[in-house]
Amino acid sequence: MDLFENMQPNKLEIVKDAYLLKRYALANEKPLLMDLAQVISQAPLRHMMTKMGFAMSAAMTNCGELGWVSDRQGYRYDMKDPATNAAWPLMPVSFQQLATFAAAEAGFDDFVPDACLINQYQVGASMGLHQDKNELDFNQPIVSVSLGVPAVFQFGGLTRTDKTLKIPLVHGDVVVWGGQSRLNFHGIAPLKMNTHPILGAYRYNLTFRKAG
């Protein structure tokens, strides 16, 4: 047995080029949660509509230069919040640093996100299997931060029907994927009822991307 095998028990390889960094966001938890509340107060969470006319089950908002939006026209990145017609809130330094450091920890150097999508899940809310492919440069990874109540992350392959790994995520966990797994299908199973001591009955997810 290799003596050094488990030197980094908090960094788990999911598949090639995809890593789970257990509790990675907790090192800077306080500023992160304060900044999250600040962003949400400037750009309130809302249930966006899909092209098909259904409201998404996660409530969403954004910060950073570009925000992910969906409406009856479809989905896209936009520099303005359609709810206020103002620019999205600036990406807080605590957010940007977390994303850059987590990406580097997973082997993706110099990641500078220009978009942070904030998803808020309540009990029963989910996100169906999808690929993140609205971004211009697939050489840039995705950094996904879980906060609040636990959830099950589904991580599949390059086709929708590939089997998915079920990965339990708790408060502070960070998933980073890029390289050969950048376009893998992924989703979130319906949220089970639970309470987090700080964030209450919700799960929040921050998805950092270099969109433009």
Ligand X SMILES: O=C(O)CCC(=O)C(=O)O
Q: Is 132 in the site for ligand X (CB under 6 A)?
A: yes
Angstrom distances, CA of residue 82 to CA of 43, 70, 205, 206, 209: 10, 10, 21, 20, 20
Residue 210 touches ligand X, criterion: CB under 6 A? no
Smaller CB separation from ligand X, 42 or 70: 70
Q: In the complex, what is the shortest distance from the CB of residue 22 to Fe ion, in angstroms, rounded to a whole number?
A: 20
Q: Annotated binding residue at 171?
A: no
Which positions from 92 to 121 touch ligand X by CB under 6 A, shown as an x/- string?
Answer: -------------------------x-x--
What per-residue string of b and e applies to 121-148 under the rule 16 or more CB within 10 Å gives b?
beeebbbebeebeebeeeebbbbbbbbb
Closest CB to ligand X among 97 and 134? 134
User: Smallest distance, Å, CB 38 to ligand X?
Assistant: 20
Q: What is d(CA 23, CA 173) in angstroms, rounded to the nearest whole number?
A: 4
Tell me if 196 is assigned to a ligand binding site.
no
Instruction: Name the residue number minimizing CB distance to ligand X.
Output: 205
Residue 107: count of CB within 10 angstroms of its CB = 12
Q: Which is nearer to ligand X, 100 or 116 (CB)?
A: 116
- For residue 171, the minimal CB distance to ligand X (Å) is 13
Is 182 among the residues that bind ligand X (CB under 6 A)? no
127 binds ligand X (CB under 6 A): yes
Give whichever of 153 and 202 is closer to ligand X, judged by the CB atom: 153
Residues that bind Fe ion (CB under 5 A): 132
Distances (CA, A) of 18 to 29, 156, 191, 193: 23, 11, 23, 28
**Residue 205 binds which entry of ligand X, Fe ion, none, CB below 5-8 Å type-dependent:** ligand X
- Give the interface with ligand X as residue ranges (CB under 6 A): 117, 119, 127, 132, 144, 153, 186, 188, 205, 207
